[in-house]
Amino acid sequence: MYTDLDTLCITRDGTIREAASRIDRSRLSIVLVIDADRRLVGTVTDGDLRRTMLAGLPLDSPLQALLDTKAASTYAVPVVGMAGSDSRQFLALLQQHKLSQLPVVDGNQCVVGLVTLNDFLPDQSIGLQALIMAGGAGTRLHPLTVGTPKPMLPVGDRPLMQILIEQMREAGIKQVSVATHHHKDKITDHFGDGTGFGVELSYVAEDRPLGTAGALGLMSRPQETMLVINGDILTQVDFRAMLMYHRAHSADVTVAVRQFELQLPYGVIDCNGADVVSLREKPKTSFLINAGIYLLEPSVHDHIPSGERYDMTTLLEKLIAEGCPVVSFPLREYWLDIGQIDDYNRAQKDVALWQV
């Protein structure tokens, strides 16, 4: 049982930002909201935080504002375990309500701690395998990539793709496939079958570039959810949190998105015909951009042609048009697309800070 209540608990007059900080410290994907007497009044999960981002609720808003958004949902009243219960009772509650975490309270509803599904089933597979897209030529990074695949460029003391694989292993992902094309031997020689890196590695060789989703068409239909990630991404995304979010939304596809702001360098004038109706001085426009990280259910594989060039954007448009549930997962964590030399130089500096 997790009993660090100083990290686990927060009062309702705290802010959403403070809740996010506690979630990041504990890595439990949840904080427990308490009153002055330490009685449980609600929970805030990692998924709640991400839905708050999409809703545009400022991070410095009080937690009560977030709890109010949950008031009409089935998650308004937390499911709890009682102190003194045995492990079988805790596990039964977790499985019955399809939960990953369970607050534990005493007879006065005061928080005692938190148990997780992993406490009782530590060796259970999380039901996620991965595909790293590593076949691109990386022409925008020439001359660095003339003889080296972009995912094999060193970032700090390791190749970029090794950082990704180690993060997957830590998240509980055991089966990883790699789509290769450009200088594929540099990848296979380094990683082999994955034994030295704690995963089972297999390779999907593209005889020609097949786009950002075409390699999936060369694979057998997966038996579990598939994480697909571009091999040129440096990130600290929590893959487990993304999977929980994906399942909570019963999605066929979950797309990681990133907030991107663009400020115009000029004043904007809005007109109605010849009449000027308003002026905006150097306005900012905000977008959600595709972060190149996806979760796909096995059924999605049926929509991908075999052996043909196919892009993920085409797949997503097709699924949306057919009414399949496609949801966005806003990133709170560090994320960098290493597409150009300036990005690569920034990655070296950022990784150095991670290691301090």
Residues 310-341: tens digit of each pLDDT:
999 999 999 999 999 999 999 999 999 998 99
Backbone angles phi, psi at 251, to 5 degrees: -85, 150
Q: Per-residue DSSP letters for 252-288?
A: SEEEEEEEEEEE-SS-EEEEETTEEEEEESS-EEEEE
pLDDT of res. 355: 65
Strand partners, 227: 130, 295
Which residue do the tokens 């990784």 mark?
351
User: At CB < 8 A and 24+ separation, what contacts does 283-287 make?
Assistant: 285/261, 286/259, 286/260, 286/261, 286/262, 287/259, 287/260, 287/261, 287/262
Average pLDDT over residues 36-63: 91
Give the residue from 211, 239, 214 showing the smallest Cα distance to 227.
239
| Mean pLDDT score of the chain | 92
At 206, the pLDDT band (50, 70, 90 cuts) reads confident
Provide the residue count of the chain.
Answer: 356
pLDDT of res. 344: 94
Position 46 pLDDT exceeds 90: yes
Q: How far apart are CA 114 and CA 112, in angstroms?
A: 7
Q: How far apart are CA 151 and CA 136, in angstroms?
A: 9
pLDDT of res. 77: 85
Average pLDDT over residues 95-109: 91
At 201, the pLDDT band (50, 70, 90 cuts) reads very high
Strand partners, 15: 62
Percentage of the chain beyond pLDDT 70 is 99
Phi-psi region of 277 (alpha: psi -120 to 50; beta: other; left: phi over 0): alpha
At 56, the pLDDT band (50, 70, 90 cuts) reads confident
Q: How far apart are CA 316 and CA 128, in angstroms?
A: 20
Q: Calculate the dihedral angle through the C-alpha atoms of 55, 60, 61, 64, rounding to the nearest 10 degrees.
A: 110
Q: How far apart are CA 118 and CA 139, in angstroms?
A: 43
Task: Specify whether the CB–CB gap between 59 and 41 falls below 8 A.
Answer: no
Average pLDDT over residues 138-144: 88
pLDDT of res. 356: 52
For the segment 237-270, what is each residue's pLDDT rounded down to a tens digit? 999 999 999 999 999 999 999 988 888 999 999 9
Strand partners, 131: 177, 228
Structure tokens at 276: 């000027």
pLDDT of res. 318: 95
pLDDT of res. 120: 87
* First-to-final CA distance of the chain: 30
| Cα angle, residue 54 at apex, residues 170 and 292 outer, rounded to 5° | 45
| Strand-strand pairing, 40-45 and 81-82 | unpaired
For the segment 207-243, what is each residue's pLDDT rounded down to a tens digit? 888 888 989 999 999 999 999 999 999 999 999 999 9
pLDDT of res. 76: 78
Structure tokens at 109: 């509803």
Q: Output the pTM of the full model.
A: 0.90
For the segment 280-297, what is each residue's pLDDT rounded down to a tens digit? 999 988 899 999 999 999
